[in-house]
Structures are given as structure tokens and as C-alpha cells.
A and B are shown apart, each in its own frame.
Chain A
Amino acid sequence: MNDSRSYLTKAIGWLRSNNPHVTEEQWAKTEEMLAKKAEEASPPTIALIGLTGVGKSSTINALFNSGVNVSHHRPCTQTAQAIEGDLYEYTGRRGTIVVYDMPGLGENLAADERHYATYCQTLPNVDVAIWVIEAPSRTISPIEVALRRLRRHCGPEVVDKIVFAANKIDRIHPGESAWIKQANMPSLEQKETTELYSNFLFESLGSEVSRPKDSIVCYSATRRYNLEVLMEQVGAHAPDDRAWLLGKVADVADFKELVDPRLLAWIQQKQHGDIRGANRDA
């Protein structure tokens, strides 16, 4: 959400017209207190899970700092029980989020066990979690096992706040050189491989989560591809009354900046005309 003030005015307007018994003075006080509560709401908190190099930092920059590497990155004092990974305050162009950056699974069993303990401790306290996977990784079974255990130990609501984010789809088969740079789009073959991979994730993780279709997003952080959908799902997996806080600080990197301007101009020209009609008939 870009303008919480205008939402606040709308909300108060609705309540006011439905509650004529409340006095003007009470409304004034109410609006003031509500604005204060909205301002004082604790910053949105995100858990990031994933092996080193899968693109966790790139993803946060893509979603909350229009793709630019952030300079303001303040480590938080860790809580009494040490957690593995990093806990930091991330300040993008629109505001601050708290990030728990945690290691991914699949390196070795002993490490996985420690990481699992970290997830158990952390996930109940975050608004949403982004589990970053590097497409087309097939090392999904440790994740499946962890989800099953998490569901049992921490409750299904903890598992249902996870978005599975398959990054780097620009590199998916037949490889990075197939990516259509001019349009910043996957080639048809890459698109097909991405669909296959998405189905594979769906089959592997689908039984562990409540809304598998929504919980799996294939994207590219550095190509800024499909980030809007990732951001939409991040909001959708956050608590009902806190998603707006994520929206407030969202600053999604602009995909169009990486598209050949001639293509954009051509599309704009055609937009009034027949491009989609022709495509549908084809």
C-alpha cells in the first residue's frame, strides 16, 4: 500500500457513516489513536531460508529496494538463544523490515538438524517466510521432511506462512543464453521447462502446504522476472491484519527497465489495435 493515510480516511469514513451515535469529538480522538497505532505497528518481519548463493539477498533487494543493493543493513542484537544465520534490519527506499536470514537444507544431515531447530525457533515469530530454491534444484526431499516435522511441532499455520520461491529461472534449461534479453523473457523452451519444474515442486511440496498453487513462485531476482507475483504471494502468506505493512514498504524492481524500449514502444502502439486479438486467433 502506498498511501496508508488515504486508506485510513476511507476506513474512518465507512465507520463514521455506520455509527452515527459516535460524536465528532470521539471520532477525532479515534482517528488520531488509529493513526498512531498504524504508525507504531512493529515493522514487518521476514524469514529467508536458502543455501548460500541461491539469491536471498538479491530477492530482498528486488522486492524492497527496487533491485538496488542496499546500503543500510543493521545487524540486530540476537536474542538470548543464539540462532544460526543473520538477524538484521533492512532499510529500503520505502522503509524498514526485519530479516532473519537462515541457512538452507541439503548440505549434510547434522547441519540440517541444527537448521531445523533454528526454523522452529524463528518461524513462529515472523510474518512471512520466503524459502528460496535455486531452479531447477531437485534437492527437495530435505525440505519436505522439514515441513512435515514443522507442521507437527509448530502447527500448520507456521508452514502456511512459507512461500517457496524458485529463483534464477533465467538459467533454466536450455540455459542462460536462451533467455530473450531484449524482451527480458524466457524462451518458449525455458517457459516449458519452468512449467515442468513448477509442477515438480507442486508434486513434492503440495501435500505439505495448504495452498500449494499459491505458495510456489518461479522468478528471477536479477532479471526482475515475475516479482509482482512473488510480492503478491508474500503478502498473501502474511497474517491478515499485517500484510499491509509489507505493502507499505514494498518497492518492487521494475522489470520494464530491462526490456528493449523499442519493444515497449511497439507494444504500446499496438495496444489500441490488434496484438492480443491476433495472438488469440493464432
Chain B
Amino acid sequence: MPRDIAPGDAEWDEVASRLANFMESMTASDKRRIAADEISFRRFCAHAMQHIANFLGFTLKNIDEFVRDMGWALKSGWQQGIERAQVKRLRP
């Protein structure tokens, strides 16, 4: 029979800490998804930008890098991805 547990019960600590870990893993998953969505959006932009640039008569430099560095950023965080992209750009 399901019964309520309360603070102080032997089960409470076990359940609460399992719950805390689970919620943490859900938050992490959510973050990964949002980061992946951002990269996906960049891919979409990159494709669209090729057409737009053609249409408006200019060429875009570093469009592959634009996506690639963000792919890397998924693992290391957005800010670091930007920084890495900038460092690479400054290289001769």
C-alpha cells in the first residue's frame, strides 16, 4: 500500500537524494538540448545565408567556421566557443 513518507523516516533521505540527482540530470538534459538547438539554428542560418549572400551579391567568409566552432561550443559552453572562434580569426 502506498503510504506517505516524512522527514525523519529512513526512506526519506534515500528518496530525496535520488530525486535531487534525477532533477539535476533533467536540468542538464534541458541545457544540452537548448545548446544543441542553438547550433542547429546556426546550421540553418549558414544554409540560408549562402543563398542570401548570393542574392545580395557578396561572399561570406568563415561560414563553415561559424557552424563548426559552435559545434565545439556545445561541449565547452557558448562563451568559450566565441572566444575560440575569435582567437582563430586573429591567427595570421
- B87 close to chain A: CB less than 8 A: no
State in angstroms the CA–CA spacing of A244 and B7 once bound together.
42
- A196 close to chain B: CB less than 8 A: no
What are the residues of chain A within 8 A of B56 when measuring CB–CB? 26, 29-30, 33
Q: Would you call A232 and B58 a contact (CB within 8 A)?
A: no
Q: Would you call B52 and A30 a contact (CB within 8 A)?
A: yes
Residue in chain B with minimal CB distance to A225 = B22
Within residues 46 to 69 of chain B, which ones have a CB less than 8 A from any CB in chain A? 46-49, 52-53, 55-56, 58, 60-63, 65-66
SS class, residues of chain A in contact with chain B: helix
Within residues 239 to 266 of chain A, which ones have a CB less than 8 A from any CB in chain B? 240-244, 246-248, 250, 252, 255-256, 259-260, 262-263, 266
State in angstroms the CA–CA spacing of A18 and B58 once bound together.
13
What are the residues of chain B within 8 A of A38 when measuring CB–CB? 41, 44-45, 48
Contact of A275 (CB < 8 Å), options: B17, B34, B38: B17
Q: Would you call B40 and A235 a contact (CB within 8 A)?
A: yes
What are the residues of chain B within 8 A of A29 when measuring CB–CB? 56
State in angstroms the CA–CA spacing of A18 and B90 once bound together.
10
**How many A-B pairs fall under 8 Å by CB?**
153
**10 A-B residue pairs with CB within 8 Å:** A4-B41, A18-B61, A34-B49, A232-B36, A241-B46, A243-B37, A259-B19, A260-B4, A266-B16, A267-B23
- What are the nearest 8 A-B pairs in CB distance? A247-B37, A243-B40, A241-B43, A244-B41, A1-B37, A244-B40, A279-B17, A232-B33
Q: In the complex, given contacts A7-B41, A30-B56, what are 7 additional A-B residue pairs having Cβ atoms less than 8 angstroms apart?
A: A4-B41, A33-B52, A34-B52, A38-B41, A183-B15, A260-B4, A270-B16
Write the residues of chain A forming the contact surface with B, with a CB cutoff of 8 angstroms.
1-2, 4, 7-8, 11, 14-15, 17-19, 21-22, 26, 29-30, 33-34, 37-38, 41, 177, 180-183, 185, 226, 228-229, 231-232, 235-236, 238, 240-244, 246-248, 250, 252, 255-256, 259-260, 262-263, 266-267, 270-271, 275-276, 278-279
